[in-house]
Structure 1
Amino acid sequence: MTEIRTPRLLLRRWSDDDLVALSEIHADPAVMRNVGEGRPRSLEQTALDIEAWEEEWDEEGFGTFAVELLGSGELAGAVGLTVAGAPDEIAGQVAIGWRLGRVFWGQGYASEAAHATLEFAVQDRGLDRVVAVCRAEDRASINVLGKLGMQAEGTAQDPLDGHALRLYGIDLTQYQD
């Protein structure tokens, strides 16, 4: 079982016990405004998300981790790697992404979890490049991408809703952990 420990977090695979906590995170419009279609997700949709993430682990050897606080055992959210389907500019490339419950914002957890995920990408999975996409107005994610050393590589339009997107990438052969 793949697990990563950081000073404050445990990144791990998903369990049945995570469904309710993640569905509560997914039900928050503020959390979901920059994820996918920008709308909250139901318990059933969250179950499908977890199922898809676990399938990607089985098929690709990487995927989306559950992010758990070491001190309390609380589920803080999700971070991980996925093969991007859209936009076309990054389709087929490995992308990093995250979402955390609102109560966990502004504490450095997203940066800590994403940094550990990039280390996993290069050290454990031998990936040489990772990309990211975020909405142009998502200042918090842009800040985290900067902390990770990811470079702006262009813009695109979300094929689902037309939102302006920013594209980022990092050459992991030069990644400094």
Structure 2
Amino acid sequence: MDTERLIMRRWRESDREPFAAMNADPEVMEHFVAPLTRAQSDAMVDRVEQGFDEHGYGLWALEVRATGDFIGFTGLALQTFEAPFTPAVEVGWRLARHAWGHGYAIEAARQAVAYGFDESGLTEIVSMTAVHNDRSRAVMERLGMTRDPADDFEHSKVPAGHPLRPHVLYRLRRS
């Protein structure tokens, strides 16, 4: 899948090193419990690729068309952790710090959402983040997603009492 400035594609072996570096960056991982080790990062790529095979969609690797640089991912992921709204398909993104502020997340997320509705036949796509992740919340709102505070939740994969456990949920329904 392509956008004006990005190539959204399946993962390559050469993506693993820059992806691991990105996942080890404390600033990129600020709204996660901890940065990922190289082994955890590689395992995530393996799960993402398995998801493509099982569902026909996943978290596409992002490449800047003009330079060929890998900058992160954007895409769709089936979420089945314990929460009132799961199972659900989430649109999500994670970009390397040098790719922030260029509009890449919203550009790719719009393409992923269109794919989910038009190609995969989804009727709703959600997105979630820690309460204080203002950058991601802004992307969700620019996507046209809406939040009902009654849907906010304590993320079951975040330890009890951790400041990142409270999450907001945004929804977008097929129009």
The TM-score with structure 2 as length reference comes to 0.92
Q: CA RMSD in A?
A: 1.1
| Stretches of structure 1 lacking an aligned partner (at least 5 in a row) | none
Normalising to structure 1: TM-score of the pair?
Answer: 0.91
Identity of matched residues, %: 29
Amino acid at match of 1:51: D
Contact 1:87 1:156 in 2 (8 A): no
CA-CA distance at 1:168 after TM superposition: 0.8
Q: Decide whether aligned partners of structure 1 residues 11 and 76 sit closer, same or farther in structure 2, where only a CA change above 3 A counts.
A: same
Task: Say whether residues 1:92 and 2:87 are aligned partners.
Answer: yes
Matched, 1:54 2:56: no
Structure 1 counterpart SS, 2:85: coil
Amino acid at match of 1:166: V
1:133-152 paired onto structure 2 within 5 Å: 133-152=128-147
The DSSP-based 3-state class of the residue aligned with 1:143 is helix
8 Å contact kept, 2:83–2:155: no
Q: Unpaired segments of 5 or more residues in structure 2?
A: none
Distance 1:133 1:87 in 2: 14
Q: How does 1:1-177 map to 2 (within 5 A)?
A: 4-35=1-32, 38-153=33-148, 154-159=151-156, 160-162=158-160, 163-172=165-174, 174=175
**8 A contact 1:31–1:100 mirrored in 2:** yes
Q: CA deviation at 1:40?
A: 1.1
CA distance in 2, matches of 1:87, 1:10: 33
